[in-house]
Amino acid sequence: TEMYPGIKRDERFKQMSSDDVAYFKELLGSDSAIIDGLHQDAAADIEPFNEDWLHKYKGQCRLVLKPGSTEDVSAILKYCNEQKLAVVPQGGNTGLVGGSVPVFDEIVINMARMNKIHSFDEVSGSLVADAGCILETTDQYLAERGAIFPLDLGAKGSCHIGGNVATNAGGLRLLRYGSLHGSVLGLEVVLPDGTIMNDLCTLRKNNTGYDLKQLHIGAEGTIGIITKVSIQCPQRSSAINVAFFGLESFEKVQQAFREAKGQLSEILSAFELMDGKSQSMVHKVRPDSKKPLEDEHPFYCLIETSGSNGEHDYAKLESFLEDVMTKEIITDGVVAQDATQLKSLWSWREGIPECLGHWGGTYKYDVSIPIKDMYAIVDDISAKMEEAGLIGETDEYPVVGVVGYGHMGDSNLHLNVAVRRYDTAVEKILEPYVYEWIADKKGSISAEHGLGIAKKNYIGYSRDETTIGLMKQIKNLYDPDKPSCIVHEAAARGASIGGR
């Protein structure tokens, strides 16, 4: 199709029939577990499952299945595998690389009904919960028990913890709580042929052989559907403080980061970067929310501290700000005085992805670059758009703005190009140029969002042939002899995983 140039439906996958639908109806029973686009006029009901958060990727799925148990998932996959029906696992559908929606007519296996918390050990901090639990709900459950989910991100109100694990999401506090590769203790996964792999360990340590669960963390559902997650949840800090400040250059941002690590050390829980353009665009979309700082600055940072002594932490943060102000590293700054202000400061960072979509769409590049070069790509792409006459204030220009923001603490930049419409002239400037730029700096073309359909052809920019070859073998071990049922895009990706 023209939507996915170069990607064709693998005709070895069967077209779904009414017999298949009847099988699933029998299996799942309740009406709420199935949206059947073959037998009823379900177009409107199916639409949200066919389209991603960015409104960029659209499939033509005719059947959504919502399993209620691991056994349901197992039976579905077993049947699809035997019948050669393609499927795509779906969590909260907040993914940003088009991995959570069908590319063609794959059956959507949506995990929303599997949303129970099974256990929480208040002594060790291990939580066992269904993959379909919503991140925010899970974190609220933990908050009532003095603990915190070791991951937080802007999509928390919709994304699933299973989706988070499947994408190995990084988020806002990776700097403090580390990657899911460290905090996930165990997983229950249904493999493509329906086999259930129970590795739902709740122990911190388990060195008995290969750590196979790691393969599913960040696999984007290509080798199995995660049904349960066991995860280590730290103590929730009783004292949280947030500071927001403006700086005049990226050089100063780097100095501020070094100072923050030095002076705030063990209480530092987030260090986020926003450029001036991203903030003025948030301001345009939300003109009524009060700007944190009066004047405009080329860069802003948000620092969060989490500790056990509020007054002590506040004093530390204030003296840090004073110090970096005196050294002229920062130009202006503010510390949240209460919970409302704290939330409001965070919203200037967390609200960026949503606000940038306001004009119509966003091209997104989620990259890791050695920190000193991290921001240069934003200036470079900006200049290219100007040169080509593609950026401007009025409707005739496709590009509204080129911005950079992200997780400074993890050297993870989000280069976003906000557009009024998706446009081939803009795309020609961006790709493969951005990927070449990243490869040249030995960066990663996918720092935390995964490959999905968006980057499946570009894996070769960040992984070598040997590594990609091993990945193919692993895919083939778990999901042999294409076609088999699991993951549309894995099927597509499996065929073209070699990248360039």
Minimum CB separation of residue 155 from ligand 2HG in Å reads 8
| Cβ(379)–Cβ(249) below 8 Å | no
Among residues 33, 61, 76, 96, the one that binds ligand FAD under rule CB under 6 A: 96
81 binds, among ligand FAD, ligand 2HG, none (CB under 5 to 8 A by kind): none
Among positions 106-165, residues that touch ligand FAD (CB under 6 A) are 111, 131, 153-155, 159-160, 162-164
What is the C-alpha separation between 485 and 385, in angstroms, rounded?
42
# of chain residues touching ligand FAD (CB under 6 A): 37
- Residue placing its CB nearer to ligand FAD in the complex, 155 or 402: 155
361 binds, among ligand 2HG, ligand FAD, none (CB under 5 to 8 A by kind): none
State the binding string over 288-317 for ligand 2HG (x if CB under 6 A, else -). ------------------------------
Minimum CB separation of residue 164 from ligand 2HG in Å reads 12
Minimum CB separation of residue 147 from ligand FAD in Å reads 20
| In 121-249, alpha helices (H) | 135-143, 161-167, 174-177, 180-183, 213-216
416 binds ligand 2HG (CB under 6 A): yes
Q: Is the bond into 89 cis (omega within 30 degrees of 0)? A: no
CA angle (159 as vertex; 155, 160 as ends), nearest 5 = 150
Q: Return phi, psi of residue 56, to 5°.
A: -110, -35
353 binds ligand 2HG (CB under 6 A): yes
Query: CA 435 → CA 95, 404, 448, 460, distances in Å?
Result: 20, 16, 15, 10
414 binds, among ligand FAD, ligand 2HG, none (CB under 5 to 8 A by kind): ligand 2HG
72 binds ligand FAD (CB under 6 A): no
- Residue placing its CB nearer to ligand FAD in the complex, 164 or 254: 164
36 binds, among ligand 2HG, ligand FAD, none (CB under 5 to 8 A by kind): none
Among positions 355-414, residues that touch ligand 2HG (CB under 6 A) are 364, 366, 406, 414
Q: Give the residue from 471, 160, 472 showing the smallest Cα distance to 149.
A: 160
139 alpha carbon, distance to own chain's centre: 17
What is the C-alpha separation between 91 and 52, in angstroms, rounded?
11
What is the C-alpha separation between 233 and 151, in angstroms, rounded?
9
Among positions 19-48, residues that touch ligand 2HG (CB under 6 A) are none
Query: Which range touches ligand FAD (CB under 6 A), out of 121-129, 170-178, 381-389, 470-478?
Result: 170-178
353 is written with which tokens? Answer: 């992805």
For the chain, the 3-state helix, strand and coil shares in percent, each to the nearest 5, are: 40, 20, 40
Task: Sort strands 412-419 and 299-307 into parallel, antiparallel or unpaired.
Answer: unpaired
Q: Give the residue from 234, 233, 262 showing the smallest Cα distance to 323.
A: 262
Where in 248-360 does DSSP place strands (E)?
Answer: 268-275, 299-307, 332-335
270 binds ligand 2HG (CB under 6 A): no
The residues that touch ligand FAD, with contacts defined as CB under 6 A, are 53, 88-96, 99-100, 111, 131, 153-155, 159-160, 162-164, 166-167, 169-172, 220-221, 225-226, 353-354, 448-449, 452
The residues that touch ligand 2HG, with contacts defined as CB under 6 A, are 96, 154, 352-353, 364, 366, 406, 414, 416
